[in-house]
Amino acid sequence: MVIDLQKCVGCDSCTVACKAENRTPPGVSYNVVMEEEHGEFPDVTRTNVPRPCMQCENPPCVQVCPVSATYKMDNGVVNVDYDRCIGCRYCMIACPYGARYFDFGENYDDEVVEAGEVTSPEYGVDRGERDGGESPVGNVRKCSFCTHRLERGEEPACVETCVGDARNMGDLDDPDSEVSEMADSSRAFQLKESEGTDPNVHYLK
Amino acid sequence: MATDQSSFEFAPGFVDDRLRTAWYALLGLLLVVGGYAMYLRITQGMQSTNLTSTTPWGAWVAFYIYFVGLSAGAFLVSTLANVFGVAGMHRIDRDALFAAIISMVVALLFVWTDLGRMDRMYHPFFWRQVTSALSWEVHAYVAYIGVLVTELYFAMRYDLAQVAERATGLRATLSGYLTLGRRATTDASRETDRTWLKRAGILGIPLAVFLVHGGTGVLFAVSKARPYWNSGLFPVIFIVSALLSGTALVVMLYVLRTRLFDDEPVDRDLLARLGALLAIFVVVDVALTGIEALIAIASLHPHELDTWGIIMFGEMSWSFWWFMVGFGWVFPLVMLSKRSWRRTPWLMALAGLSVVVGIVAVRFNIVVPPQIRPVMEGLPHGAYFPSLVEWASSAGMIAVGLLLYTIGAELLPLTPLDRGDH
């Protein structure tokens, strides 16, 4: 994924689309938009940096999981096996991007009628109604690049919804793809490059 | 040196019955309160805590590493007697081993409670990850408990056999079972025990130092995302503070048990030796923590500066100044500064208690501060103070440990029958 920060207007639609698509509970937001302010009045600029999971090439979260519940899939997406995860939260400690969230079992019952009735078929598994404290309650959750949508040949919800067309989805392994070209541009950078995680989310300055 | 009476009274435990009643009543109260908190924790899940996705580790993790440290420290004190043969230390080696086992049980109770899915506690034995320190740790803990139990068996078997043979009642029957059928009370059998005790101890030392407690430090130190933990010195400090808290625990237990259970005078030479050891560990702990802080601050890394700022001047800085520096370091050092004080049992018990309490703050100040400032600027800041359920369940789990220890101390020959002067 390549995100063009010059095109991002900071509307947070990606965050909303993500919550709607993945039906994430309170306190869990796979995608957030971080606002950075630079300079002093009157020369102030603001950059909006959307932050999904970086799907790192060398993911520290995978490295620390004691039960191998989180692992990298062939398509490069870092997966969480909700049926194996013990909820120790070591991966949240290890993630340099704060991209992982713990599911405390809360619901939007006060805000939305029948909030837990429909859940997202994350990683292609339909878990039905959210009740009885079953997984993913008590597990760690994160952005999966909408794996269930990718499997249907669709783009992740955040990419589809972006009003400024700032998000670009593609195959970084294919050197001729549009995203590869963007990721090679002189404007391109990754978050916390010095960590050695080699994120698969690239940004354009 | 074997005693040669044909029968004898074996009844360790509280000398004062009123004290016994009061102590069990207190533990009972803590267990009821803790049990209710545990019920809330299980029914409400992790919502019963004050943890968040910014601060995912809290009180339970802090207590877990605290008890692992207490165990490793107490175990290493026991090796002074049974591996290194330091004179006059035999009196406390079983006590130290027993406390080490109980501490590990309590530590594992804390990790278990901390799991988001308590029902999957067995998963780490079915699925592993070679690169995960936690995966290795789980196995190290099991192996370590195995070594501790083996050691306690060999340290105590000769006396168990004697009790089974010569005394009567519940204690004698229990002792008989615990000998596992090896009931010989000959000098040759005792020599065999000592040999195996030493072997298990030699195996246990690297296990405790590098894998169990050093490894627990590594668990934190490998987190590159948290610069405060990501330091080579970190696991070393873990080991030193473990030695510190373990020695303090043994000092406290020795004085209390000798006075309240055995009703005997405290061996002041032994006390002074343990006191000197404690003083050395305090100094090393202070020095290494100071070096760690200097390296962190000199790096000018914003995350490091912020974390140390939070520790020293933040909302919870009282825990650093009062508990860690005050109870953990300054107060015990003052108590240990005079030779005559080092030989005064109640002062040393107090110094021990002070360190045992102070190191709790050390563990909290390890776990919590680097999870306050978010890993990325623009993400929400954390704030954490344990919830009532976290406090009460912690008190309950600690009470489980105290209860197990007390029952053991009332039934088993933790004080050598020959008073350890062989």
Quick: pLDDT tens for A88-106.
999 999 999 999 999 999 9
Please give the full DSSP string across A43-76, using - where no structure is assigned: S-EEEEEEE-----SS-HHHHH-TT--EEE-TTS
Query: By 3-state DSSP, what share of chain B in percent is helix, strand and coil, each rounded to 5?
Result: 75, 0, 25
Average per-residue pLDDT for chain B: 93
Which DSSP string corresponds to A21-45? Answer: HHTPPTT--S-EEEEEEES-TTS-E
The Cα–Cα gap between A76 and A56 comes to 8
| Minimal CA separation from B58 to chain A, in Å | 11
Q: B12 lies in a domain?
A: no
pLDDT at B3: 47
Cβ–Cβ below 8 Å for A67 and B375: no
Distance from C-alpha of B337 to C-alpha of B314, rounded to nearest angstrom: 31
Tell me what the pLDDT averaged over chain A comes to.
94
pTM, rounded to two decimals: 0.95
Q: What is the DSSP string of B247-263?
A: HHHHHHHHHHHIIIII-
A64 touches chain B (CB under 8 A): yes
B57: nearest CB among A89, A96, A135: A89
- Closest CB to B123 among A63, A67, A195: A67
B418: in domain: no
| A72: pLDDT strictly greater than 90 | yes
Task: Enumerate residues 161 to 190 of chain A having a beta carbon within 8 A of any beta carbon in chain B.
Answer: none
Selection from B369, B420, B396 nearest residue B112 by Cα: B396
Q: What's the first-to-final CA gap in chain A, in angstroms?
A: 14
Q: What is the pLDDT of residue B12?
A: 87
Q: What is the largest CA-CA distance in chain A?
A: 54
Chain A residues in contact with B56 by the CB 8 A cut-off are: 89, 92-93, 102
Distance from CA of B211 to the nearest CA of A (A): 15
- Does residue A57 carry a pLDDT above 90? yes
Q: What is the CATH number of the domain that holds A188?
A: 3.30.70.20
Task: Please give the distance of CA B275 from its chain centroid, rounded to a whole number.
Answer: 18
**Once rounded to an integer, what is the mean pLDDT over residues B47-63?**
97
Distances (CA, A) of A136 to A126, B64, B219: 11, 25, 25
Strands A202-204 and A2-4, bridge-based pairing: parallel
Domain count, chain A: 1
pLDDT at B173: 93
Specify the CATH number for the domain of residue B165.
1.20.1630.10
Range of the domain at A28: 2-204
Q: Which of B4-18, B98-112, B309-323 has the lowest mean pLDDT?
A: B4-18
Q: Please give the Cα distance from A128 to A131 (Å, whole number).
A: 9
- At B86 the pLDDT is 87
Q: What is the ipTM of this complex?
A: 0.94
How much is the pLDDT for B164?
92
Residue A119 scores a pLDDT above 90: no
**pLDDT class for B2, splitting at 50, 70, 90?**
very low
pLDDT band of A112, cuts 50, 70, 90: confident
Report the candidate in B136, B156, B154, B132 with the shortest Cα–Cα distance to residue B144.
B136
Integer CA distances (angstroms), A31 to A12, A14, B413, in order:
9, 7, 60
The predicted-structure confidence for A182-200, as pLDDT tens digits, reads as follows: 999 999 999 999 999 999 9
- Minimal CA–CA distance to B361: which of B246, B225, B253, B245? B245
The count of structural domains within chain B is 1
Report the distance separating Cα A63 and Cα B113, nearest Å. Answer: 23
State whether B135 and A67 contact (CB < 8 Å): yes
A5-16 pLDDT, tens per residue?
999 999 999 999
Please compute Rg for chain A using Cα positions: 17
Q: Name the residue range of residue B298's domain.
A: 22-411
Closest CB from A27, A64, A104 relative to B134? A64
Report the alpha-carbon angle A4-A154-A72, nearest 5: 75
